[in-house]
Chains A and B, each alone.
Chain A
């Protein structure tokens, strides 16, 4: 089995209204249940906005903490899911289902999801 990281990219700015978001959250929850039942799910979660991010590094031998995000961009990772499946085709199918679940009611396009294989675990 191969582990894949499915990163959900969302645009910077305010999240959609609760009425729009509610059906999305419901669909994602159903998808997570389905992935758990299929023994595909490893982990998933949604993140607070990048305003809440902090960057830590070692600089000249000492830890340095700065207000982050590390990269300011028009898009950032808003959440992710880790799955374990036999191959990329299976991973792409789950990513497709996740993209479907993330589509806001009345919108034809979803957020983009980046699929990346893990080199190793732990």
Chain B
């Protein structure tokens, strides 16, 4: 209840008072009162409406207390309309505005992520700081600066106009996907994944999909995250070690998440407005179809990667495409593709190269490629996996 209603209430109060700090503090007050009162008094008929009404009264109290003589008149106008009770059903959902404010391109990406988790997810500053492995003071400062910029530069609180929407939606989806990836595979540290971040990203993805119905890329991103999430139990072994897709016990895959993800893939592809999240989701859907790794339809995956390269060519996509080339045309063909790419700094290129060389029996070169990959990743679990592979060569 907290995660859902926190964001909803903050969004309503920001809309009403135009002040993010005031909205946050008042909603936190309301939850504190709820924690004190609800256990003995029982749940109110509409808990969400109660939270918003209580938070709004708290906000009005704060404005009254803090108002100087000069702006008392302005706040009086706000107070005038405060009497009516709030019916939760009649409440417009303001969270979409809040998402677009938090993910405004005028804010630095790290600030977009932090604000989204703070205001829409209700995560504490300490939790966000831990998740992104920065000191709490750094994260607190990042949030204060972002909120000041929203206020001083007048970043608007609204859903972008249609002309701006595709680009702005792209930024918002990138924020959600970044949160998901940070949870899926921590970029540094010893824990392979931080489940709560992935769960929060999926929650935001579902929210976005609900609020922006029928946006194919929103559906695509949600499907991509659900299909990735379906493999969580199979992704790590008993000692927490990384298990690659080809070696996963597919009976551990979550069938309900796969079904939901695949249904979304079918729905968004039917719209015929292809985008990068949809294609990535479609690739994952093909993997999810195969009961055994050996039954994977690699031809279809290669076609999807070709399509991906046609609409959004990029080095990272090209590296991943090489994996499909190896399955369709053999490791030698894939190696030739990889070696044309350059990309010396990208760890995945070396990891994939190492695997191809191993399959070609070129063990000495494979060991060098594993070493190159190991040197380029900060994730301890991933390093262990690559070190294990390198040992197996001997």
* Residues from chain A with Cβ under 8 Å of B155 in the complex: 87-89
Report whether A117 and B152 are in contact in the complex, using a CB–CB cutoff of 8 Å.
yes
In whole angstroms, how far apart are the Cα atoms of A7 and B133 in the complex? 36
Size band of the interface chain B makes with A:
10 to 19
Asked whether A87 lies within 8 Å of B156 as measured between CB atoms, the reply is yes
Number of interface residues of A (CB under 8 A): 10
With A and B bound together, what is the CA distance between A61 and B128 in angstroms?
A: 50
Binary CB contact string for chain A from 85 to 122 against chain B (1 if under 8 A, 0 otherwise) = 01111001000000000000000000000011101000
B298 to chain A, nearest CB (A): 38
Does B153 sit at the interface, judged by CB under 8 A?
Answer: yes
Cα A119 to Cα B148 in complex, Å, equals: 12
Bits for B131-173, please: 1 = Cβ < 8 Å to A, else 0: 0000000000000000000001111101011001000000000
| B106 & A2 in contact (Cβ 8 Å cutoff) | no
A residues less than 8 Å from B160 (CB atoms): 89
* Contact between chains at A117 and B106 (CB < 8 Å): no
Cα distance, A89 to B155, chains bound together (Å): 7
Residues of B within 8 A of A2 (CB): 154
Q: Which A residue's beta carbon lies closest to that of B158?
A: A89
Closest to A90 in B: B156
How far, in whole Å, are A116 and B153 apart by their CA atoms in the complex? 7
Determine the distance from Cα of A2 to Cα of B154 in the docked complex, in whole angstroms.
Answer: 8
Q: Is the CB of A119 within 8 A of B152?
A: yes
Q: Which of B90-127 contact A (CB under 8 A)?
A: 104, 106
Interface centre among A87, A89, A115 (most CB of B within 10 A): A89
Q: Chain A residues with Cβ under 8 A from B153's Cβ?
A: 88, 115-117
Within 8 Å CB of B106, what residues of A? 88, 92, 115
- In the complex, A115→B106 CA distance in Å? 10
- Give min CB distance, A84 to chain B, whole Å: 11
Closest to B168 in A: A89
Q: Which residues of A contact B156 (CB under 8 A)?
A: 86-89
Residue of B152, B154, B160 most packed against chain A (CB within 10 A): B154
Give the 3 A-B CB pairs with smallest separation, nearest first: A87-B156, A87-B154, A117-B153
Extra contacts, 9 of them, besides A87-B156, A89-B155 (Cβ < 8 A), are: A87-B154, A88-B106, A89-B156, A89-B160, A89-B164, A92-B106, A115-B153, A116-B153, A117-B152
A residues with CB within 8 A of B: 2, 86-89, 92, 115-117, 119
25 residue pairs A–B, Cβ–Cβ below 8 Å: A2-B154, A86-B154, A86-B156, A87-B154, A87-B155, A87-B156, A88-B104, A88-B106, A88-B153, A88-B154, A88-B155, A88-B156, A89-B155, A89-B156, A89-B158, A89-B160, A89-B161, A89-B164, A92-B106, A115-B106, A115-B153, A116-B153, A117-B152, A117-B153, A117-B154
